[in-house]
Chains A and B, each alone.
Chain A
Amino acid sequence: MKKLRIEDKLYLVGYNVDHEYSHLGISDPEVCKTCEKKQCTYVCPASVYSWDEKEQKININYDACLECGTCRFACDYITWKYPRGGFGVAYKFG
């Protein structure tokens, strides 16, 4: 079976994107520069986090978030809140 990339799969997910407010953040972005594993870049099932080599920072694509919370268990520097009421992922099947 053809392997599906995360990007392909996220098209199938219903979202109500909050364009004004990101529910994800990093409390101390300086830490990312010396973080060896950068586990947020691979444990997230929606590839929300990516390392920007040029800017030396983690980019957060919060509108793809599936709200599982894996990143907040994987890294103490990630600040994680629920999206505002009604926003974020809305599953059809569950």
Chain B
Amino acid sequence: MSKKDFDVIVVGAGPAGMAAAYVLAKAGVDVIVIERGKFPGSKNVMGGIFYRKPMDDLIPEFYKEAPIERHIVEQRMWLMDDVSHFSMGIKTQKHNSEPYNCFSVLRAQFDKWFSKKVIEAGALLINETVVTEPIIENGKVVGVRTDRPQGDLYADCVIAADGVQSFLAKSLGLRKKITPNKVALGVKEIIGLSEEQVNDRFGIKDSNEGVTIEITGPFLKGMEGMAWVYTNKNSVSIGIGVIIDDLINHNMNPNDLLESLKNHSSVLPLIEGGETREYLAHVIPEGGYKSVPKMYTDGFMVAGDAAMLVDSIHREGSNLAVESGKLAARTYLEAKESGDFSEKTLSRYQEKLEETYILQDLRYYRNLPELLEEKRYLLTEYPQFLIDAMTEIYTVDGVPKPEKFKKIKGELKSRFGYIGLAKDLYTIWRKLR
């Protein structure tokens, strides 16, 4: 190699990039992190929950010092139509003591804190700088070009943690064109309330405890998506993510959708009287396992959203980002021993991911995006049936119970047919094998 400014260049100071930089800096590697925002987190939007485990392995008991909103003790799942919701969920004291299971966080604050830890560990962080392209010599990635004057930087290895758009992975031909049926747009608001209001409305005793609600069902009018309400310390995050193709085909404006969610009779009492403090939008890669690209080439690895590592069923993303960033860093450390950063050596990175729950989870659900695309009614008609059946069962109107059950059975038959029902169950079972 002709030049070398750093051992490793990490592109993007989100959870994936910073996890990688943290591991590398701790191991004494000369690493630079390049971030295009004013500060790490300034371009980032949390559309989920932050799971403790991967981060705790990196920085033990990080939650004692990091800007956490609340630890989550109750998770609710709602199937919702225009006038009702059917609720399931789990509230457990097992999630109410250290080390906790997961947290609500706000990215702009959390990522800024994480970046301080990364700098303390010895990494160099450069903000307000866009990486425009990889620098390739003799077929190998040897650095990156930035939008700064004389902004070329050279290194043994580049770790691209540049988010869902990932122009770097795309320009290297690792990533295929992303079609609008494989990505969701999430829009979100932070609605300010007092701590007491949050506690009262969500049935919380202590201001450190939090609740999440995930909502799907026929209120989405056949679009594939998920809405969420998360408790922060003195605000609520409310948002909705919908596959972009569905927004296009339903002539749907995302803000209209968010506003109708906020005014739904089940949601409104949770946020009423609160003041919107911020409005945010971000794209979520939802293509699953089949959209995960080859994650390495000579002198180059991809991590986090840039590698499409999102488990949309379990709304896991930032934890997969942290985990993948760590594994990319460890792969680099192994490669450093032999001084060989070739594609062959770095292929260990993807193998490592395959060995963990990350790609095992995504592989398990690999057929789901296509199944749901093909059979959108699974997301509307079955939830609608459940809502209607529960409403029937809970309505006391003089109709004898055996007659009610007969009516529900009749509905099941007329809406799906027993053969249709058996087919759907078989298909789901087969696709999840």
Residues in chain A near residue B310, CB distance under 8 A: none
Q: Which residue of A lies closest to B127 (CB)?
A: A86
Are B255 and A66 neighbours in the complex by a CB distance under 8 Å? no
The reply on B280 being an interface residue by CB < 8 A is yes
The A/B interface has a contact count, at CB < 8 Å, of 140
Are A91 and B281 neighbours in the complex by a CB distance under 8 Å? no
Are B251 and A91 neighbours in the complex by a CB distance under 8 Å? no
Are B276 and A91 neighbours in the complex by a CB distance under 8 Å? no
Known: A43-B253, A68-B282. A91 touches B107 (CB 8 A): yes
Which of B129, B277, B281 contacts A93 (CB under 8 A)? Answer: B277
With A and B bound together, what is the CA distance between A82 and B235 in angstroms? 30
Are A93 and B106 neighbours in the complex by a CB distance under 8 Å? yes
Residues in chain A near residue B185, CB distance under 8 A: 43, 45, 68, 70
Q: Which residue of A lies closest to B248 (CB)?
A: A39
With A and B bound together, what is the CA distance between A53 and B109 in angstroms? 43
Residues in chain B near residue A74, CB distance under 8 A: 180, 244, 247-248
Are A37 and B279 neighbours in the complex by a CB distance under 8 Å? no
Residues in chain B near residue A43, CB distance under 8 A: 185, 244, 247-248, 252-254
The reply on A3 being an interface residue by CB < 8 A is yes
Within 8 A of B (CB), among A1-36: 1, 3-6, 9-10, 12-13, 16
Residues in chain A near residue B282, CB distance under 8 A: 66, 68
Q: Which residue of B lies closest to A66 (CB)?
A: B281
The reply on B148 being an interface residue by CB < 8 A is yes
Are A3 and B283 neighbours in the complex by a CB distance under 8 Å? no
With A and B bound together, what is the CA distance between A56 and B244 in angstroms? 26
Within 8 A of A (CB), among B113-149: 127-130, 146-148
Which of B107, B272, B281 contacts A46 (CB under 8 A)? Answer: B281
Stretch at the interface among B40-48, B79-87, B424-432: B40-48
Within 8 A of A (CB), among B90-127: 106-111, 127
Are B244 and A45 neighbours in the complex by a CB distance under 8 Å? no
The reply on B23 being an interface residue by CB < 8 A is no
With A and B bound together, what is the CA distance between A47 and B262 in angstroms? 20
Q: B197 → chain A, closest Cβ, in Å?
A: 14
Q: B305 → chain A, closest Cβ, in Å?
A: 11
Residues in chain A near residue B379, CB distance under 8 A: none
For B1-15 the 0/1 string (1 means CB < 8 A from A) is 000000000000000
Which of B36, B45, B262 contacts A94 (CB under 8 A)? Answer: B45
The reply on A89 being an interface residue by CB < 8 A is yes
Chain A interface residue count, CB cutoff 8 Å, equals 37
Are A12 and B279 neighbours in the complex by a CB distance under 8 Å? yes
Residues in chain B near residue A5, CB distance under 8 A: 255
Are A68 and B283 neighbours in the complex by a CB distance under 8 Å? yes
The reply on A92 being an interface residue by CB < 8 A is yes
Known: A16-B38, A84-B147, A91-B43. A1 touches B271 (CB 8 A): yes
With A and B bound together, what is the CA distance between A84 and B164 in angstroms? 18
Within 8 A of B (CB), among A59-86: 66-70, 72-74, 80, 82-86
For B275-309 the 0/1 string (1 means CB < 8 A from A) is 01111111100000000000000000000000000
With A and B bound together, what is the CA distance between A86 and B278 in angstroms? 19
Residues in chain A near residue B268, CB distance under 8 A: 1
Which of B36, B39, B167, B283 contacts A70 (CB under 8 A)? Answer: B283
Are A9 and B279 neighbours in the complex by a CB distance under 8 Å? yes
Are B283 and A73 neighbours in the complex by a CB distance under 8 Å? yes
Residues in chain B near residue A12, CB distance under 8 A: 276-279
Are B189 and A1 neighbours in the complex by a CB distance under 8 Å? no
With A and B bound together, what is the CA distance between A68 and B187 in angstroms? 9
Which of A16, A67, A80 has the most CB atoms of chain B within a 10 A radius of its CB?
A: A67
Are B252 and A42 neighbours in the complex by a CB distance under 8 Å? yes
Are A85 and B278 neighbours in the complex by a CB distance under 8 Å? no
Are B130 and A1 neighbours in the complex by a CB distance under 8 Å? no
Are A73 and B45 neighbours in the complex by a CB distance under 8 Å? no
CB-defined A-B contacts under 8 Å, sample of 11: A9-B279, A10-B279, A12-B278, A13-B280, A42-B247, A74-B248, A85-B36, A89-B42, A91-B42, A94-B107, A94-B108
- Please report B residues at the A interface, Cβ cutoff 8 Å: 36-39, 41-46, 106-111, 127-130, 146-148, 164-165, 167, 178-180, 183, 185, 187, 189-190, 235, 244, 247-248, 251-255, 259, 262-263, 268, 271-272, 276-283
